[in-house]
Structure 1
Amino acid sequence: MTGSALRPAPAGPAPFDAALSHARALADAELRRALADEPGPVAQAMLYACEGGKALRAFLVLAGGRLHGVADPAAAPVAAAIEALHAYSLVHDDLPCMDDDDLRRGRPTVHRKWDEATAVLAGDALQSLAFELIADAALSARAKVALMGSLARAAGVAGMVGGQALDLAAETAPAPLTLDQITALQAKKTGALLSWSAAAGARMAGGDPAPFLRYGDALGLAFQIADDLLDVEGDAATVGKATGKDAGRGKATFVSLLGLDAARARARSLTEEACAALDPFGPAADPLREAARFVTTRRK
C-alpha cells in the first residue's frame, strides 16, 4: 500500500493526536512498501525499529510540506526517510557499546530481540534506506539534492553523530558539562534531525528554510528538556524506556543544572520562541505551533 492510498488525516476530539497517527501511517506504509521484497531478519528488525514511535518528525515534514503546497503523497517518502534515519540512530544508541538499553518504546531493543550484529546491520540499512526513499520521491532533482545534502549533514559528525560523541565523552569527563556545553551538545544530538524535519517542507518546495530552522532549533531544545524532565519524573511503563539513568550515571542535564521548575520554564520559553519564528506564516502554520506545544506536554 502506498502513501497516496491512505485517507486524509481524520478529524476528531484530539486533532493533533489524529495528525500524528496519520503521519505515522503514511511513513509506515512507505517503509513497508520499500521493504516488501526484502525477507530475513535484518528487514524484519528494520521495520520493528520503526514501529511504535510518535512520528513527530514525519508530522513536521508533512505539515511543513502542506504549508508550502506539497501534498502528502509527494511528501510521504521524505517523512518515511526521517523516521528511518531516526530509528537507525535509536538502534545504535541502544547498543551495549553506547547507552546499553534493554527497552525502547515499551519493547525489547533490537539487539535484545535479535542480537548485536543484526542491530548494527539494521541500523546501517535504515540509514541507507532514508536516502533511497528521498531519491525515489516524486520531487524535483533540485529538491532531492537539497534534502539529501542537508540530511547528511544533520545526521553526521556536524549533527546527530557529533552530538552523540560529545554525550559519550561527557560520561568520562573530569567535570560535568556546563549549561552552554549541554545546549550545544543537544542542539546536535536531538535538535539537528528535528530542525531538518521542520525545514523539509521549504526545501521540497524550493522555499526559504531559515524560519523553519529557527523554529526547529528551539523545538529541539524544548524536546530535550522535556526528555530530561521525563527521565526524572516519568515511569518506564509510560515513557517506554528506562528512566532515572541520567542521575544514575551522574550526567549533567538541563534538569540537574537548572532544577525542575527552571527547566520547565525554559521549555515553555523555547516553545514560545519556536511559535514566534512562524509569525510570518499566520494561522496556516498552526499545526506546527501545535507540535511545539505537544513537545513540552507529552508523557513519553
Structure 2
Amino acid sequence: MSDFDKMLDCRAAEAEDIIKSFLPAEEGYQKKVIEAMNYSVMAGGKRIRPVLMLEMFKIFSGKDKDLVAPFAAAIEMIHTYSLVHDDLPAMDNDEYRRGRKTTHVVYGAGMATLAGDGLLNYAYETALKVFLCKTNTDPFDGDISDRRAKALEILARKAGIYGMVGGQCADIEAEGKAAAASEELIFIHENKTAAMLESSMMIGAILAGADKKALDDIEQAARKIGVAFQIQDDVLDVTGDEAELGKPIGSDEKNEKTTYVTLHGLEESKEEVRKLSDEAASILSKYDGSEEFLIPLVKWMISRQK
C-alpha cells in the first residue's frame, strides 16, 4: 500500500467516525425510514466530500474540529440523498451501487424516496449544530460576515436549484436528445457534480479563516475538479469494469444520455480530464500544505478507475 493510500484510508476513517457520530438512532414509529437512511449513508466509499472539507480546514489552519464536524457529516448526508434519489426507478433505475443493492431495491421506492427526503432535512439539522460550538470565528470579508452563516448559505445554495438540483434537472431534460449542446453538458457537470465538491472545499476553508480571495480560488479549483471528475465518470461508463466499479456500465447509453464522450470521443475526453486536473492543481498549489495530500487526492479522484 502506498503512502497516499494509507493517508486516504486514515482520513476516510476519520470522516466515517464523524458521520457515524451524527446518525439518528433507529427507534420510534419512524424507525424504518431511519434504517433506510442509515443503510444508505453506511454504503461505504472513500467519503471524498467530508475528506476534502476536513483537508481544507487543515490547510487553512483550522483548530477546533467541532466547528467543521457537523458540516462534514451534513455534506455526506446530502450527497447520499442525491444518490438514493438518482437510483430510483423514476430516475436512473440502478439496482446496485458500491457493490450492494440500492436503497429502493431493499426498502421499496416509496421508503427510499422518504429516506432521501429525511437525509436532506437531517443534514441541515446536523449542520445547524455548529452554532452549539463555543469556538469564536473572525468576521468574513464577503457578503455575509458570520462564517457559520456563510457556510450554511454555501451548503444550501450548492445543493439546491442553483447547484446540484439544477444540474440534475438539466440532466433529465437532456435525456433522449440526439445531442445536447456542449455548454449544456458543462452546465450539468458544473452543477450536478462540481457544486457539492465546491461546497465541501469552500466550507472547510471558510470555517478555518480563509478570506474571500482564497474562497474564490477554491471555488474555481473545485469546479474544475468536479467537471473533470464527471468526465472521467463518463469515460468509465464506457471503458470501466462492472465488477470493479460496483455498478452497471453502459447506463448512460441505456438512458439515452449525451455525455462528454458521446460529444467529443474518448481521447479528447481523457485529454480534457488531464487539462482540468492540472489547472485545479495549479490553483491549489498556492496554498501551503496542499502538496502533501490535497493535490494527490485531486489527481487520484480524477484518474480513478472505479
- TM-score normalized with structure 2 length: 0.88
Q: Does 2:121 align with 1:128?
A: yes
Asked whether the equivalents of residues 154 and 203 of structure 2 are also in contact (C-alpha less than 8 Å), the reply is no
Q: CA offsets, 1:252-275, max 9 Å, x none? A: 111111111111111000000101
Separation in structure 2 between the aligned mates of residue 129 and residue 33 of structure 1, nearest angstrom: 13
1:47 is matched with which residue? 38
Cα–Cα, structure 1 residues 36 and 170, in superposed 2: closer, same or farther, change >3 Å? closer
Separation in structure 2 between the aligned mates of residue 87 and residue 72 of structure 1, nearest angstrom: 26
Separation in structure 1 between the aligned mates of residue 230 and residue 35 of structure 2, nearest angstrom: 29
SS at match of 1:281: coil
Q: Does 2:94 align with 1:101?
A: yes
Asked whether the equivalents of residues 197 and 222 of structure 2 are also in contact (C-alpha less than 8 Å), the reply is yes
2:184 is matched with which residue? 181
1:273 is matched with which residue? 279
Separation in structure 2 between the aligned mates of residue 206 and residue 110 of structure 1, nearest angstrom: 38
1:191 is matched with which residue? 194
Separation in structure 2 between the aligned mates of residue 172 and residue 108 of structure 1, nearest angstrom: 27
Separation in structure 2 between the aligned mates of residue 237 and residue 247 of structure 1, nearest angstrom: 19
How far is the alpha carbon of 1:297 from its aligned partner?
Answer: 1.9
How far is the alpha carbon of 1:34 from its aligned partner?
Answer: 2.5
2:11 is matched with which residue? 23
1:225 is matched with which residue? 231
Q: CA offsets, 1:165-195, max 9 Å, x none? A: 111111144x411222111111000010011
Q: CA offsets, 1:217-246, max 9 Å, x none? A: 110011001101110011221111111111
1:167 is matched with which residue? 171
Which moves more between the two structures, 192-201 or 247-256? 247-256
Separation in structure 2 between the aligned mates of residue 35 and residue 15 of structure 1, nearest angstrom: 31
Separation in structure 1 between the aligned mates of residue 124 and residue 297 of structure 2, nearest angstrom: 25
2:149 is matched with which residue? 145
Q: Indicate the RMSD between aligned Cα atoms, in angstroms.
A: 1.9
2:53 is matched with which residue? 61
The one-letter amino acid paired with 1:50 is: V
Q: Does 2:231 align with 1:239?
A: no
How far is the alpha carbon of 1:140 from its aligned partner?
Answer: 4.9
Aligned pairs, how many?
Answer: 287
How far is the alpha carbon of 1:211 from its aligned partner?
Answer: 1.1
Asked whether the equivalents of residues 57 and 194 of structure 1 are also in contact (C-alpha less than 8 Å), the reply is yes
The one-letter amino acid paired with 1:18 is: K
- TM-score normalized with structure 1 length: 0.89
Separation in structure 2 between the aligned mates of residue 191 and residue 22 of structure 1, nearest angstrom: 24
Cα–Cα, structure 1 residues 172 and 255, in superposed 2: closer, same or farther, change >3 Å? closer
The one-letter amino acid paired with 2:53 is: V
SS at match of 2:94: coil
Cα–Cα, structure 1 residues 198 and 172, in superposed 2: closer, same or farther, change >3 Å? same
SS at match of 2:88: coil
Cα–Cα, structure 1 residues 291 and 226, in superposed 2: closer, same or farther, change >3 Å? same
2:143 is matched with which residue? none
Separation in structure 1 between the aligned mates of residue 13 and residue 186 of structure 2, nearest angstrom: 33
Q: CA offsets, 1:92-115, max 9 Å, x none? A: 111111111111111111010111
2:85 is matched with which residue? 92
Cα–Cα, structure 1 residues 243 and 285, in superposed 2: closer, same or farther, change >3 Å? same
Separation in structure 2 between the aligned mates of residue 24 and residue 134 of structure 1, nearest angstrom: 19
SS at match of 1:98: coil
Structure 1 unmatched runs, 5+: 1-12
Identical columns (%): 38
